[in-house]
């Protein structure tokens, strides 16, 4: 995916808006894929992006979180976590498929299909300029921010 155009997507997101990659041209953004609202790793990762939001904004970069959860779930998670950015709902796995983030994972000894925690940076021209797959949460947001600040 690296150094390829961002897939064209139009998906519902919190705040009653549409996440439309075509209309985002002209500005850089981070798209982070996470497995599920209100789970420990996803809560920590979202809080880290929240806590670094001002620094991403200062680097002219927007943040979007994406999972397969419903908009209703996303709205509750966003409110509970006081997230200053929007969450994208992808129950049909449109974006998940386009970014190849669906994987078989072990959960409590069982094989389950789910989102592999992944983050992508898309530059102002619409190119995917960085990707992290199989993300471990501690330190990840700081690493993404350092990349974005070099880009700015």
Q: Name the residues annotated as catalytic.
A: 42
Q: How far apart are CA 104 and CA 47, in angstroms?
A: 26
């Amino acid at each position: 995916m690296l150094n390829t155009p961002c897939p064209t997507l139009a998906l519902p997101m919190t705040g009653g808006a549409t996440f439309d990659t075509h209309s985002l041209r002209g500005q850089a953004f981070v798209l982070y894929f996470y497995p599920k609202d209100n789970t420990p790793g996803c809560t920590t990762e979202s809080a880290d992006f929240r806590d670094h939001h001002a620094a991403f904004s200062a680097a002219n970069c927007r943040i979007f979180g994406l999972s397969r959860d419903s908009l209703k779930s996303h709205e509750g998670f966003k409110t509970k976590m006081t997230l200053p950015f929007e969450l994208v709902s992808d129950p049909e796995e449109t974006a998940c498929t386009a970014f190849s983030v669906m994987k078989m994972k072990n959960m409590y000894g069982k094989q389950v299909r789910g989102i592999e925690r992944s983050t992508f940076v898309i530059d102002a021209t619409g190119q995917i300029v960085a990707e992290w797959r199989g993300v471990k949460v501690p330190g990840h947001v700081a690493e993404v921010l350092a990349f974005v600040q070099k880009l700015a």
